[in-house]
Amino acid sequence: MKYNVKNYESLLSLQETEIAIKLVKDTFERKLASKLDLLRVSAPLFVDPNTGLNDNLTGVEKAVDFILQDGKKRLEIVQSLAKWKRYALKKYDIAVHKGLYTDMNAIRPFEELDNIHSCYVDQWDWEKVIKKEDRNINYLKETVRLIYEALLETEEIVSKHYPKLNQDLPKEITFITSEELEEQYPNLSRKERENAICKKHKAVFLIGIGNKLKDGEPHDSRAADYDDWSLNGDLLLWYEPLNIGLELSSMGIRVNKDSLIKQLDEKKENYKLEFMYHKQILNDELPLTIGGGIGQSRICLYMLKKVHIGEVQASFWNEDYLEELKKENIHLL
């Protein structure tokens, strides 16, 4: 997708940008861990595909893989750690209402590269143990508000260090379901609906990603085996430099036994019930959890008022594209 950027001039030099990236990441990570009571842990870069631990994202993206030197084992680069984290909570014996987080780095060669999409993904993956009675919309909203508080406090600290980076976030985040959004904007596309609601409220959490809307299609596709489609959502911010609703996080209360079977059946992916991870859910061997991923570079893009994800992360872009960006005064790391 092409985003029209006119008369752009970065508010920070390249050196200032690198220093500011560290400030944003260190501050938000500390705030997030404190708000949600999370323990930092190490995480794998690759997993055995036969365990079912890799995230299939919407279910069609192919993970990058490689063969070990002995030629006998194929491993996959993680696409996210949505399933691995739930397994790790059990392994580390994390108590109820406590959790863990980690840096997740992934390669997604299928991404259509543009101002907000790169083939390199960096995010904080977090997961928290909950009780059966926490599996409801109110608990989801409470958790979103805590994450949003971490964003607000991070923005305040960044603005104190760099006064020219004006604060834009509203004090409260707005909640709306994908069904309500469809009712408000029935004649708009999915992305146009997100842009419209974000422009109106500036910070939005869109609830219910995966369930079908009136036209028989979901607002957006979601894998069937980690989020409960009725108890998940996307955190979106209005981003004036690009005139878009910018997704910072996808998160939700995870599937239990019943929602796992129902959603796999709807996607005709029942074969996954033979995987180790899925069997553990069916046998109540894994804790009930809530979790998500929060884009590190997306937060830096927003906080530092950049117009391209490549201004806050080092990734690959072809030479012709780089030359185009230079003409628009956009210089990537």
Question: What is the DSSP track for 121-185?
Answer: EEEEEEEEE--GGG-SHHHHHHHHHHHHHHHHHHHHHHHHH-TTS-----SS-EEEEHHHHHHH-
121 strand-pairing partners = 106
Helix (H) or strand (E) holding 75: strand 74-77
Q: What is the pLDDT of residue 50?
A: 83
Q: What is the pLDDT of residue 60?
A: 65
Q: How far is it, in rounded angstroms, from Cα 289 to Cα 305?
A: 34
58: Cβ–Cβ under 8 A, 6 or more apart, which residues?
A: 220, 221, 222, 223
| pLDDT of the chain, 333 residues: tens digit per residue | 567 788 899 999 999 999 999 999 999 999 999 999 999 999 988 888 888 777 766 666 778 888 987 777 889 888 878 888 998 999 999 999 999 999 998 888 887 888 999 999 899 999 999 999 999 999 999 999 999 999 999 999 999 999 999 888 999 999 999 999 999 999 999 999 999 999 999 999 999 999 999 988 999 988 899 899 999 999 999 999 999 999 999 999 999 999 999 999 999 999 999 988 899 999 999 999 999 999 999 999 999 999 999 999 999 999 998 998 898 899 998
Q: Measuring CA to CA, how many Å separate 92 from each of 37, 40, 134, 141, 179?
A: 15, 12, 21, 26, 38
Helix (H) or strand (E) holding 53: none
Q: What is the pLDDT of residue 51?
A: 81
Q: What is the pLDDT of residue 269?
A: 92
236 strand-pairing partners = 204, 247
CATH fold for the domain made of 14-327 = BirA Bifunctional Protein; domain 2 (3.30.930)
Q: What is the pLDDT of residue 247?
A: 96
Q: What is the pLDDT of residue 68?
A: 86
Domain definitions of the chain by residue range: 14-327
Which residues form the catalytic set?
55, 108, 123, 234, 247, 250
Query: For the whole model, what pTM was predicted?
Result: 0.93
